[in-house]
Amino acid sequence: MLGQRGTAHVNGTQLYYETAGSGDALVLIHGHTLDVRMWDDQFATFAAHYHVIRYDMRGYGRSALPGDALFSPADDLAALLSYLGIAHAHVLGLSRGGVVAIDFALMYPQVSDTLILADTALREFAFKAFGEFTEAVKSLAASAGIDAARQRWQQGALFAPALEQPRVAARLAQMVGDYSGWHWLHQEPLRVLQPPPTEQLATLDMPTLVIVGERDLPDFQAIADLVHQRVPHATKAVIPGVGHMSNMEDPARFNERVLEFLADHSN
C-alpha cells in the first residue's frame, strides 16, 4: 500500500494527512475528539480500490489548533485537496466529519463526486439530549479540567455500544485521551454557511449515501432521516447492532456498504 504522509501548510494552518492507493480519490473525515486513527479499519481496505486521503482537521490530532482568525473546515479540506493535486473526490465523513462533508459538498459541489454521511451531525440542527450532554461536558472541562471532561465524554451514551467491544473501547480511549480538549474551552471561530445547511440540503445534487447505526442516539437517527428525506439522490443504510461509531463497531459491514455504493458511482 504505497502512499505518503505529511503536514500541509494550507489556508493559514497546518494539516496532518496520510494517503494510500490509486484511482478515484476518497477522503475520510473523522469525528469530534478523534483523529485519523478512527479510520484504521477502512484505510487499507479502501486503498485497495481508491486513492484514499485521511487527515486530522484543524484542532485535532497532529494538525494545528485554531487561532483567532475565522475559518471554515470545508475550506481547509479544499485547500488540502488542491495541495495534493486532487481535482475531485468522493467525500466520507462521520459525526462531525459529516458536518464538514455536507459543508464541503455545498461549497464545492464541482469537487464532490459523491457524499457519504455516517452517523452524521448537522450544523444548526436542534439537538436535544445529545446537545445537553455536550454542554455538560464543556461545563465540566471548565470547572474540573480536561481529564474529567474526557472521562465523562467517553462514558456518555454516544459511545456506549462501542464500549461493549474491548478492542474498540481501547482505541477510543487512546484517541480521546490524546485529544487536547481545545473545543471544550474555546469558542471555535467558524465561518459558517448562510443560509444554514439545514435549509440547503435539497440543493445537493451528487449521489449521497446516509449510513446510521441501528443503536445510534435518537438525535442522530433524526438527522439521518432528515438528510435522507431532503437530499434528492440520497439512499439510506442502517447497520444493525451498532451505535454511533458504526465504522469501528462493524467495519466489515460498514466497508461493504461504502464499497458497494462507490462501485455504483465511480468512473
User: Any idea how long the chain is?
Assistant: 267
Q: Write the DSSP assignment of 31-75 as a string of letters.
A: -TT--GGGGHHHHHHHHTTSEEEEEPPTTSTTSPPP-SS-B-HHH
Q: What proportions of the chain, in percent to the nearest 5, are helix, strand and coil?
A: 45, 20, 35
Q: What is the pLDDT of residue 29?
A: 99
pLDDT of residue 266: 76
E runs forming strands in the chain: 3-10, 13-20, 25-29, 51-55, 89-94, 112-118, 208-213, 234-239
Could you give the CA distance from residue 223 to residue 28 in angstroms, rounded to a whole number? 20
> Which residues have C-beta within 8 Å of that of residue 138, sequence separation ≥ 6?
149, 184, 185
Please provide the CATH number assigned to the domain covering 3-125+189-264. 3.40.50.1820
Which among 206, 201, 216 has a CA at the least distance from the CA of 247?
Answer: 216
pLDDT value of residue 3:
82
Mean pLDDT per 10-residue section of the chain, whose length is 267 residues: 87 98 98 98 98 98 97 98 97 98 98 98 93 96 98 97 98 98 97 94 97 98 98 97 98 98 89
| Cα torsion through 141, 144, 146, 148, rounded to 10 | -100
pLDDT of residue 2: 60
C-alpha cell at 131: 446537545
Cβ–Cβ under 8 Å, residues 130 and 158: yes
Half-sphere exposure (Cβ direction) of 195: Cα atoms closer than 13 Å: 7
- Residue 29: name the closest of 78, 100, 84, 90 by CA: 100
- The per-residue pLDDT for 228 is 98
**Residue type at 107?**
M
